[in-house]
Amino acid sequence: MRNLVIDIGNTFSKLAVFEQKELIHFEQLEKVEENGLLNLINEYRIENSTVSSVSDQIENLETLLKKNTRYTRFGTAITGEVKSHYESPTTLGLDRWAKVIAAHCLYRGNNTLMIDAGTCITYDVLTATDEYFGGSISLGLNMRFKALNHYTGRLPLVNWDKAQTEIAEGTNTQNAIKRGVLQGAVNEIEGFIAIEQKRNKNLKVILTGGDSLFLTKQLKNSIFAAQITHEPYLVLKGLNEVITL
């Protein structure tokens, strides 16, 4: 059984093909094109599909998938065995819910904190008893850089290389901004981990999202390092699990 899963985010779209639970193809695009999608469906002989999107305007995409695959419409009503206590499920981001489903299926029996470092940084916890109480949404790294430039008169917009491994000392304005944003985010993440560790013993921490590899490297020497796993495809794996629920 081959499944096509699509995660349409604020910045990029991610497509993945799974054979059962094995990821056999991945690509990241600025926009999903119908012709390219059809070629992918035919090349991999896709049987099933589902989509998580930050936009509701996916009618054409859903029509194409319904015509060419067995399509599962993903939403927060798909719960598996998860008991959600979220007060407004219709406003819960589908990417966040896909991560909850992934934690339920892949890390069952663990208290799991999922940290997604993308356009925003989101924090969500699924308890060992499969209960979800919501989480937190914070500014992503690029959003922080842009905010400093936008809301001040003289601070420049700083570009940073996410492949870097060290945060420089703030000996000039550019580095001071980088240090404030990057170290500030690391400190924030450590703070959230500490809070959730007090609430949920034997906490497993999963980092995902476009900036997660950089942040994982920064956390390698923290007291929480042994608890942290870098999982770049967590949303996509969650969507794949949805097809089999």
CA angle centred on 77, ends 75 and 78, rounded to 5°? 75
Q: Name the 3-class secondary structure at 58.
A: coil
**Which residues neighbour 112 within 8 Å (Cβ) at sequence distance 6 or greater?**
103, 125, 126, 203, 204, 205, 206
Whether pLDDT at 8 is above 80: yes
pLDDT of 66 > 80? The answer is yes
Residue 13 near residue 55, CB atoms below 8 Å: no
pLDDT at 165: 77
Q: pTM for this structure?
A: 0.94
95 tagged catalytic: yes
Q: What percent of the chain has pLDDT over 90?
A: 89
Does residue 233 contact residue 27 with C-beta atoms inside 8 Å?
no
Whole-angstrom CA distances from 225 to 168, 202, 203, 222, 229 are 21, 13, 12, 5, 9
Contact 144, 117 (CB under 8 A): no
Look up residue 234 and give its two tokens.
């967590």
147-196 residue pLDDT tens: 999 999 999 999 888 888 789 899 999 999 999 999 999 999 999 999 99
The pLDDT value recorded for residue 133 is: 95
SS3 112: strand
Look at residues 160, 141, 144 and name the one whose alpha carbon lies nearest to residue 152. Answer: 144
Mean pLDDT confidence for 41-63: 93
Give 244's contacts (C-beta < 8 A, 6+ positions apart). Answer: none
**Catalytic one among 7, 56, 95, 211?**
95
Take residue 165 and report the two structure tokens written for it: 């491994």
According to the model, what pLDDT value does residue 162 have? 85
